[in-house]
Structure 1
Amino acid sequence: MRKANVFVADEVGALRNRYPIDAMQSSQMNMVNRTGILISTAYESLNNPMTEEVEYAQKVLDDLIDDPTLFALLYKPDDPKDWLSDKSLIEANPLAEVLEDNLEYLKKQRRTALDMPSSKKNFLTKHMNIFVDGDDSEVYIPSDELKKNMITTYDWTGREVFVGVDLSQTTDNTAVSMVTYDHDKDEYVAQSWAFIPEDSAENKSKVEKVDYFTMRDNGYCYFCGDKVISHRFVENFVLDLEKKYGVIIKGIGYDRWNCVASANRWYEEGYDTIEIKQHSSVLHPATKLVKERVLKGSFKYLQNRLLEINFSNAREVKDSNLNTYVNKKKSTGKVDMVISILNAMALWNKEVEENLTSNFEERELIIL
């Protein structure tokens, strides 16, 4: 029986799961120059193997993941929201730039998509290569815009900070971020860390295609606990921030889920703890603020490749009142570090953007 050096899979977006791809890749284990070719237009679903492949390829192209074995041609608009422009039409259909008949045909199909809403999804998926779903979800912040705000050093000494925490279930990722506001420069500065169980690191690295060992070595991630994450380690990490960085913690914003015991401990240690309700009406101001500040270049973050990957995973959705928020279920990977930043920024939004002075003289557990 001969095994194939090369396999080709067409219309991968129509697959329900990636088992056929994984099976073909596994069959090539002992082959030399093994090659797989995946081809597909977009589909009316975000839950298919091709969306995963496109997201992974985009991270490689954005230098978030190092994979010299991958070659990708992604014909899609740089900005999916701008699908009505001729620029986006050419980006998704480069041959139309030299084939006038094709361009006119596509323009006609675009007009039809506007006049007949029922044909819009077909136009977006088959002619614009935009994956669509029932929800209006989109990339939260483009990687190239985020990276413009990266800094390599920052003197935290004496800075007032709000700390944001996204404490996970015992086997999942946890994140802590501290954010300060520089009144003189009118900019925010953030630093973030992730925490995972040590025994999960190897498997998570394979499944998520993120080298957590390198992230740990670079100080972006901590391994704590064995099979389950050590909440005590995370609690102590937060308690040590003032001593280690010389900051002044104004308050700790947290999601109530899995965090009540930790919040009580921080409160007992003398810190103001504020529950950030994970509801679009509460998260929208911070979500909007971070995005606007990043695009304006006034939201700096300390160099952190894992944080950049978290941002590239994040997907923003709108509720019925047009409030935007980062939806974990719609996101394409871990976003815990982003959520922890948003929890901290919800507090800064109240104090700076809404001109509400923080006043915790009568200490109590506070809920936003």
Structure 2
Amino acid sequence: MRKANVFVADEVGALRNRYPIDAMQSSQMNMVNRTGILISTAYESLNNPMTEEVEYAQKVLDDLIDDPTLFALLYKPDDPKDWLSDKSLIEANPLAEVLEDNLEYLKKQRRTALDMPSSKKNFLTKHMNIFVDGDDSEVYIPSDELKKNMITTYDWTGREVFVGVDLSQTTDNTAVSMVTYDHDKDEYVAQSWAFIPEDSAENKSKVEKVDYFTMRDNGYCYFCGDKVISHRFVENFVLDLERKYGVIIKGIGYDRWNCVASANRWYEEGYDTIEIKQHSSVLHPATKLVKERVLKGSFKYLQNRLLEINFSNAREVKDSNLNTYVNKKKSTGKVDMVISILNAMALWNKEVEENLTSNFEERELIIL
């Protein structure tokens, strides 16, 4: 029995899971020059293998993942929210730029999508290649905007910091971030670390398509514990930040889930520990602040490829009150480092905003 050196899968977005793709790839293990071709338009669901493939390809194109074996053509708008512009129409349908009849047809379909809401999803998926879902979720911060804020060195000595912790289940990723605010430059600076069980590193690298061994070697990630994360290791890591970096910890923000015992230990060691409730009404100010600061170029972060991948995974969701927050379930991969930053920024937001409000109230109104 001969096996195929090449397989082609069309309309991958219609698959319920990626088993058929994985099965074909596995069958090629002993082949030379093995090749798989995946083709699809977008679909009215985010829960399908093609969204994963597109996300992965985008990370390769953004230099977040090194994969020289991948060739990808992604015909989609740079800004999915700008689907009404001719620019986006051309980006999703490049042939329309030279085929006038096609361009006029697409414009007609766009007008129909505006006039007949029931046809909007079909236009977005089949003509604009935009995956849509029932929930309003979108990329939190574009990778190109984030990377403009990357710095390679920073002197933490004497800096006041808030520490944010996302202490997940013992078998999942955990993250710690410290953030300082430079009053003179009016900018924030962050540094983050991830923690995973050592025995899970190889499997996580394959499943998540992230080389955790390289991340560890670069100091972005720590392996602690065997099959489960050592919470004691993470606790000691936080307690050692002041000695190692010369910082002054103003407080430690944490999510109560899985973190009560650790928070108690930090409190007993003399640190101010503050629970950050994981609710949109609480996280919205910090979520908004980080995004605005990144876009303004005033949220710096120490070079960290794993953090960049976490940000590229993050998806922003609006609740019924239009409060925005990063939703783990809607995100396309691990976002623990982002959550730890938001926990720290929730404390900075409170302090900075309170100071601004206090200064405003102290001003006297003078009528000339």
Aligned-pair distance for 1:55? 0.3
C-alpha distance in 2 between matches for 1:109 and 1:327 = 33
Deviations 1:228-286 (A, max 9, x none): 00000000000000000000000000000000000010001000000000000000000
Q: How many residues align?
A: 368
Partner of 2:200 in structure 1? 200
C-alpha distance in 1 between matches for 2:242 and 2:316 = 33
Q: Give the gaps of 5 or more residues in structure 1.
A: none
CA contact (8 A) 1:14 1:48 kept: yes
CA contact (8 A) 1:13 1:48 kept: yes
The TM-score with structure 1 as length reference comes to 0.96
CA contact (8 A) 1:272 1:363 kept: no
C-alpha distance in 2 between matches for 1:160 and 1:14 = 51
- The alpha-carbon distance between structure 1 residues 148 and 366, as it changes in their structure 2 partners (threshold 3 A), is farther
Aligned-pair distance for 1:355? 2.1
Q: Do structure 1's residue 302 and structure 2's residue 302 form an aligned pair? A: yes
Q: Percent identity?
A: 100
C-alpha distance in 2 between matches for 1:216 and 1:367 = 61
CA RMSD of aligned residues (A): 5.1
The TM-score with structure 2 as length reference comes to 0.96
- The alpha-carbon distance between structure 1 residues 272 and 66, as it changes in their structure 2 partners (threshold 3 A), is same
- The alpha-carbon distance between structure 1 residues 224 and 6, as it changes in their structure 2 partners (threshold 3 A), is same
- The alpha-carbon distance between structure 1 residues 354 and 97, as it changes in their structure 2 partners (threshold 3 A), is farther
Aligned-pair distance for 1:139? 0.3
- The alpha-carbon distance between structure 1 residues 247 and 34, as it changes in their structure 2 partners (threshold 3 A), is same
- The alpha-carbon distance between structure 1 residues 135 and 84, as it changes in their structure 2 partners (threshold 3 A), is same
SS at match of 2:162: strand
Partner of 1:46 in structure 2? 46
SS at match of 2:59: helix
CA contact (8 A) 1:44 1:133 kept: yes
SS at match of 2:332: coil
- The alpha-carbon distance between structure 1 residues 357 and 123, as it changes in their structure 2 partners (threshold 3 A), is closer
- The alpha-carbon distance between structure 1 residues 276 and 367, as it changes in their structure 2 partners (threshold 3 A), is farther
- The alpha-carbon distance between structure 1 residues 365 and 215, as it changes in their structure 2 partners (threshold 3 A), is farther
Aligned-pair distance for 1:353? 3.0
Aligned-pair distance for 1:31? 1.1
SS at match of 1:249: strand
Aligned-pair distance for 1:361? 23
Partner of 1:95 in structure 2? 95
C-alpha distance in 2 between matches for 1:69 and 1:311 = 24
SS at match of 1:359: helix
Q: Give the gaps of 5 or more residues in structure 2.
A: none
Aligned-pair distance for 1:357? 9.5
CA contact (8 A) 1:313 1:335 kept: yes
- The alpha-carbon distance between structure 1 residues 165 and 367, as it changes in their structure 2 partners (threshold 3 A), is farther
C-alpha distance in 2 between matches for 1:367 and 1:35 = 76
Alignment of structure 1 residues 226-245 onto 2, 5 Å? 226-245=226-245
- The alpha-carbon distance between structure 1 residues 3 and 352, as it changes in their structure 2 partners (threshold 3 A), is same
Aligned-pair distance for 1:25? 0.7
- The alpha-carbon distance between structure 1 residues 271 and 48, as it changes in their structure 2 partners (threshold 3 A), is same
Aligned-pair distance for 1:27? 1.0
Deviations 1:205-250 (A, max 9, x none): 0000000000000000000000000000000000000000000000
Partner of 2:215 in structure 1? 215
Greater CA deviation, 24-33 or 62-71? 24-33
Runs of 4+ in 1 over 6 A off after TM superposition: 356-368
Deviations 1:114-169 (A, max 9, x none): 11111111010000000000001000000000000000000000000000000000
Aligned-pair distance for 1:354? 3.8
- The alpha-carbon distance between structure 1 residues 11 and 365, as it changes in their structure 2 partners (threshold 3 A), is farther
C-alpha distance in 1 between matches for 2:365 and 2:150 = 34
CA contact (8 A) 1:187 1:300 kept: yes
C-alpha distance in 1 between matches for 2:169 and 2:76 = 37
CA contact (8 A) 1:10 1:40 kept: yes
- The alpha-carbon distance between structure 1 residues 260 and 55, as it changes in their structure 2 partners (threshold 3 A), is same
- The alpha-carbon distance between structure 1 residues 233 and 360, as it changes in their structure 2 partners (threshold 3 A), is farther
Deviations 1:303-334 (A, max 9, x none): 00000000000000100000000000000000
Aligned-pair distance for 1:30? 1.1
Alignment of structure 1 residues 126-145 onto 2, 5 Å? 126-145=126-145
CA contact (8 A) 1:76 1:128 kept: yes
- The alpha-carbon distance between structure 1 residues 359 and 219, as it changes in their structure 2 partners (threshold 3 A), is farther
Partner of 1:285 in structure 2? 285
C-alpha distance in 1 between matches for 2:148 and 2:246 = 27
